[in-house]
Amino acid sequence: MAPYIKVGDTIPKGEFGYIPWAPELENNLACGVPSKINTETDWKGKKVVLFSVPGAFTPTCHTNHLPPFLEKYDQFKAKGVDVIVVIAANDLFVMSGWARFEGCKDKIVAISDSGAKWSAGLNLSVDLTDKGLGVRTARYAMIIDDLVVKYIEVESAPGVTVSGADAVLAKL
């Protein structure tokens, strides 16, 4: 799969639902307050590492993709990253629940690409209907600096290589 976006391109405008981390969320009965992230306003002037997973709580995403980004958070910050974002087609409540389960707190922002619409517009969605999952975001990663793509890679096979924390860190 070749994405429609490449290094040097400006990312398209996107608005994503998410639930900002707050101490009240430590109580697993709290759901948080739904909010929006707008790429044009919230990421302008910032260095953003965005990695995409097909689904929260799914085996590879849950055990091999998100945890290394969290474990290497300080290394990303030391390289000037302002925001680390995980994106998936799951709804914002599932993304918030997964981020809480993983212990992301305010270190990784979990956003919902509802219906994988933004990712699909970049040719970065995958149809997993035959596995009972529907259309999802593909497994990919980007480094975005002031809305311009500096790195983008898409996994061509199952597993985490070019979209993983180590690969992204090496490109910062």
Residue 88 lies in a domain: yes
Q: Which among 19, 50, 56, 61 is annotated as catalytic?
A: 61
DSSP H helices in the chain: 39-42, 59-60, 66-71, 73-78, 92-102, 117-121, 165-171
pLDDT band at 132 (very low <50, low <70, confident <90, very high): low
Range of the domain at 65: 15-171
User: What are φ and ψ of residue 112, in 5° steps?
Assistant: -100, 120
Question: Which pLDDT tens digit goes with each residue over 112-124?
Answer: 998 899 998 998 9
The answer as to whether 103 is a domain residue is yes
* pLDDT of 24 higher than 70: yes
| Structural domain contains residue 20 | yes
Which CATH number belongs to the domain containing residue 90 in this structure?
A: 3.40.30.10
Tell me whether residue 31 is one of the annotated catalytic residues.
no
Tell me the pLDDT tens digit for each residue of 42-76: 999 999 999 999 888 776 666 678 999 999 999 99
- Give domain status of residue 144, yes or no: yes
Asked whether residue 138 carries a pLDDT value surpassing 70, the answer given is yes
The pTM for the full model equals 0.92
Number of domains in the chain: 1
Say what percent of the chain tops pLDDT 70.
Answer: 92
In a domain, 3, yes or no: no
CA distances 46 to 82, 88, 147, Å, are 6, 21, 8
Does residue 164 lie within any of the structural domains?
A: yes
Q: Is residue 6 part of a domain?
A: no
